[in-house]
Structure 1
Amino acid sequence: MNFRKHGKAYGYYGVIESRTFEKGNLLQNMQIPAGLFRGARDGIVSFETGLESKDLLKNTQTTQVTFEQSWHEPFITGTAEFVNAVRTFVEQ
């Protein structure tokens, strides 16, 4: 997998930032549970990028939650649902 591609989902900002902050290699070695929370209508981070993130987390238990009525920030557009999902994840 091309880890530099992962940051490109964010456009120009991602291309510049990925040179400094790309963490694909670190994600592969992560061994604590990870929660991926995303809005289904997200216009900033594509669904495919979310799948790539999950693929990078191959050495850990990953919980992925999609908020069907939310955009990029489900904690704002679906606060109660988001809080419940995070609580469920943390209490596992």
Structure 2
Amino acid sequence: MSSLPTIRSHAQTRSIIFSAHARVRMFERGISSEDILHILTDGEIIEEYEDDTPCPSFLMLGYLRGVAHHVVVGCCADHIKIITVYHPDEKWTNDRFRR
């Protein structure tokens, strides 16, 4: 099964773990769990980190209220883990390409 369908399937069944770091960043940035669900179901993968452990991870781009957000998601067999979430800065072109 490819990554995006797996991520979306886990999001639909709410098989999601939020890291403590992600929770702090979400609070600081006013991002809710429902906002993250929106990005997981409607966003796109823009980078892949297949060698990450314990599970491969992916950088997703999604938009909330017209504002770009990046979410780093670990994709394991039985769940996904939200590692961090942030607004892309000037290091990104069109919110999806590193400069």
State if a TM-score over 0.5 links the two structures: no
Which structure has greater strand proportion? 2
TM-score by length of 2: 0.27
**Rg: which structure is higher?**
1
Higher share of residues assigned helix: 1
